[in-house]
Amino acid sequence: MIGPGSIAAYGFLELTPLMRRFLKFSSLLGLLCLQGISSSADAAVRRYLYCSSPDGAQREGKSGTGLLVFDIDHGHQFVRRIEIPIFKEGLRGLTGCSASKCLYYSTTNKRLGCFDLEIEKIVWDQQYHAGCDRTCITPDGKFLFAPTGWWYKGDDSGFLKIDARDGKLLERIKVGTAAHNSIASLDGRFVYLGTTTMLTQFDAKSGKILKNIKPVGESGVFPYTVKSDNSFAFVCLGRHVGVDVVDLEAGKPIHRVFAINPDTKKKIKHRTHGAGMTPDETQLWLSDQAGKRIYTFDMTVMPPVQTGHLDLSMGGHGWVCFSLDGKYGYSHTPDVFDVKTRKVVATLKDENGKPFASSKFIEVHFDGDKVVKVSCEFGLGRVQAGN
């Protein structure tokens, strides 16, 4: 081993000032090269938006059957279509998982399937005795929780707990009527399910019910979103545009927040179907699909305060979600919003140039031909979970 005083002993020349300057320059040049390699590696990650068609919940904007892929980093241009004929049944949900590198689709025809994003093939496809509505998957890729469907009002309405590897039904969990939307928390601790005026929190590993929180949402069963630390949920209202703010620790709603129409200065008397928060958890966006608007709220205060609205190009089912970096906002329309400027910066169009819309979309990142990140279909807070 060469020690600090061993240069002369090993016959090395003593460094002159000129040589030291040369070595310093060479080291700097090498560092810049390494940084360039790192930047090139980052730039090599490509981001795409995968959207399903036809949407089982809306007719507007549909385009054939399968997945339509858009390039997020190049103006959300259409890239290609992946034909999946079984999608003709109409999708009720589309979720994804980074761990498994798969998408999971659900249909009104009691069907759930797994699509591998790297080999672009259906790995398994199963039909059950109930379901399947907006399904969620635990972040480790082990378990799927499929709601039995908002259309099903039986006493055994609730969840199907399913092995994500092969679609095997593991357990049927009775919860409440009209089981509709489900979310797996990004930290892997909890699963949430919305049923008629009730939000239920489960232990993600055991499937055990931890809390039934009711009444929430005014009437019926509608979408919701959850902060990344599992402190608060925001549940859409069934008779107005607005949300109930639910304290998940206390297990009860603490605020009811209404959107106010700036034209009439009044509450908006029809349902909300879509609530999403920006990944940094500073903004809450609510869908007014009937009024062709999205209302925006400041989430840095409690209760959230309305800050404005965005005009949409069409009506439809209602949905709100964001790109993982929080730069873009998506809805059930072809409109792509810049979150900062709140302006439409792109329009999703199919290969024929026709405006395309869906309320089921997933962001997927590729490094070469390998999937490195997959989002979910809900606009969830990501402060505590990272992207």
pLDDT confidence of residue 251:
98
Span 217-246, pLDDT tens digits: 999 999 999 999 999 999 999 999 999 999
Span 193-211, pLDDT tens digits: 999 999 999 999 999 999 9
Span 323-333, pLDDT tens digits: 999 999 999 99
pLDDT, average across residues 102-110? 95
The answer to whether 211 and 195 are in contact (CB under 8 A) is no
pLDDT confidence of residue 242:
98
The mean pLDDT of the chain is 90
The residues spanned by each domain of the chain are 46-374
Other C-beta atoms within 10 Å of 102: how many?
24
The answer to whether 218 and 239 are in contact (CB under 8 A) is yes
Pick the CATH number of 46-374 from 3.40.50.300, 2.130.10.10, 2.40.50.140, 3.40.710.10: 2.130.10.10
Other C-beta atoms within 10 Å of 83: how many?
9
User: Is pLDDT above 80 for 7?
Assistant: no
The token pair that represents 46 in the structure block: 């490509």
Q: Beta strands 77-82 and 91-97: pairing type? A: unpaired
pLDDT confidence of residue 299:
97
pLDDT confidence of residue 42:
54
List % helix, strand, coil for the chain (3-state, nearest 5): 10, 45, 50
Span 119-156, pLDDT tens digits: 999 999 999 999 999 999 999 999 999 999 999 999 99
Other C-beta atoms within 10 Å of 129: how many?
10
Span 163-197, pLDDT tens digits: 999 999 999 999 999 999 999 999 999 999 999 99
pTM of structure: 0.88
